[in-house]
Amino acid sequence: MAEDTSDFGHVPVLADRCVTLLTPALTRRHPDGSGALLVDATLGAGGHAERFLTALPGLRLIGLDRDPSALDIAASRLAPFGDRVTLIHTRYDGLAEALAESGYPATGSVDGVLFDLGVSSMQLDRRERGFSYAHDAPLDMRMDPTAPQTAADIVNTYDEAALADILRRYGEERFARRIAAEIVRRRRGTPFTSTGQLVEVIYHAIPAPARRTGGHPAKRTFQALRIAVNAELDSLESALPVALNALADGGRVVVLAYQSLEDRIVKRAFADASASRTPTGLPVELPGHAPQFKSLTRGAERADDTEIQRNPRSAAVRLRALEKIRPHTEHDAQAARKGDR
């Protein structure tokens, strides 16, 4: 999703690592991926999808994206793979419905799921979308341009307390109250229509010493509004259980997160999925209480210097992955001691 000189202009983050983690699940039936299904829940420009489809000529892929322009770009990029690819316009929390639309059960039908979260550089590069604080543009920030609410709607209609709450919760902005108060004061005269107007207000609301550290003063506010406009965290919290439920035994899920709020949600969901349900203190694993998933990463993996130099967007990435465990027999479950796992 970061800039490159290729025809499609974007480099998928940690693509090699994603291929390494997901391929064992996609090649369980056949080395070329025949019979396997991969869901790319955040298709974007199709860079990750192209890597998998090229490496595994028998693989089928369902690609989801809420952005129609991204789907158009991906459709062109993935056209050589023909009917092995199905593209669906939906948020990733619509995964179960997308599977049903494609003729697959919502439970146990998928071999791999990939989430590459956040805003793509493709969206950032298009000034008219209003995601970037670096260029003056309409105050929009919708990943799906057909969605009803824009960033301008929030900035112009939410009361001061609600604005401050959004900036604090989604942007972790310590000057949230000051910024919200300045927004409300300024909009009484002229409603906000552009990113440039908002950047100016943020600049004046944040004390000068604070503006000199921590990056661009508008960074946290723009993140918060983007998350609110697109309901990103609510969508992620809904999507992860659906994705885990969709996995077949031996299936795998990989998530790339780029900011701490996303990663906390992923970390919590993955920890819960890989935890034993047997009460603490019992010497054996109770039947039906063993973990359903195991972690494939030790904590969150980060990009190395070589990856970051090749693709600067990867500097912020945190990668986590799980595998669905094949259920043990009752005899195995009774014999397994919790301390031996």
The class (CATH top level) of 15-116+232-336 is alpha beta
pLDDT surpassing 90 at residue 194: yes
For the segment 8-36, the average pLDDT, to the nearest whole number, is 92
Burial call 65-101: b when 16+ CB within 10 Å, e when fewer:
bbbeebbebbeebbeebeeebbbbebbbbbbbebbee
Q: How confident is the model at residue 215 (pLDDT cuts 50, 70, 90)?
A: confident
47-55 and 15-26 are packed helices; what angle lies between their axes, rounded to 10 degrees? 50
For the segment 12-32, the average pLDDT, to the nearest whole number, is 96
List for the chain the helix, strand, coil content (%; round to 5): 50, 15, 40
> Which of 213 and 203 is assigned the larger pLDDT?
203
Instruction: Tell me whether strands 293-295 and 37-40 are parallel, antiparallel or unpaired.
Output: unpaired
pLDDT at 126: 64
Burial call 331-340: b when 16+ CB within 10 Å, e when fewer:
eebeebebee
For the segment 261-273, the average pLDDT, to the nearest whole number, is 96
pLDDT at 279: 74
For the segment 39-49, the average pLDDT, to the nearest whole number, is 95
Q: How confident is the model at residue 135 (pLDDT cuts 50, 70, 90)?
A: confident
Burial call 226-235: b when 16+ CB within 10 Å, e when fewer:
bbbbbbbbeb
pLDDT at 257: 96
Annotated binding site: 46-48, 65, 92, 116, 123
Q: What's the rounded Cα separation, in Å, for the pair 196 and 172?
A: 21
Q: How confident is the model at residue 2 (pLDDT cuts 50, 70, 90)?
A: very low
pLDDT surpassing 80 at residue 3: no
DSSP state of 284: S
For the segment 184-206, the average pLDDT, to the nearest whole number, is 95
Q: How confident is the model at residue 311 (pLDDT cuts 50, 70, 90)?
A: confident
Render pLDDT for 281-300 as a digit per residue (tens, 0 to 9).
677 767 777 789 999 999 99
pLDDT at 339: 45
pLDDT at 195: 94
Look up the pTM and report it: 0.87
- Write out the two tokens for 155: 């900035």
Residues 6+ apart with CB under 8 A from 304: none
pLDDT surpassing 90 at residue 118: no
Render pLDDT for 59-103 as a digit per residue (tens, 0 to 9).
999 999 999 999 999 999 999 999 999 999 999 999 999 999 999
Q: How confident is the model at residue 327 (pLDDT cuts 50, 70, 90)?
A: low
Q: What are the domain boundaries of the chain? A: 15-116+232-336, 127-230
- Write out the two tokens for 330: 């009752």
pLDDT surpassing 50 at residue 312: yes
DSSP state of 79: G
Give CA angle at 201 (200, 203), nearest 5°.
65
Annotated binding site for S-adenosyl-L-methionine: 46-48, 65, 92, 116, 123
Q: How confident is the model at residue 25 (pLDDT cuts 50, 70, 90)?
A: very high
Topology of domain 127-230, CATH: DNA polymerase; domain 1 (1.10.150)
- Write out the two tokens for 168: 């604090």
- Write out the two tokens for 98: 């997308």
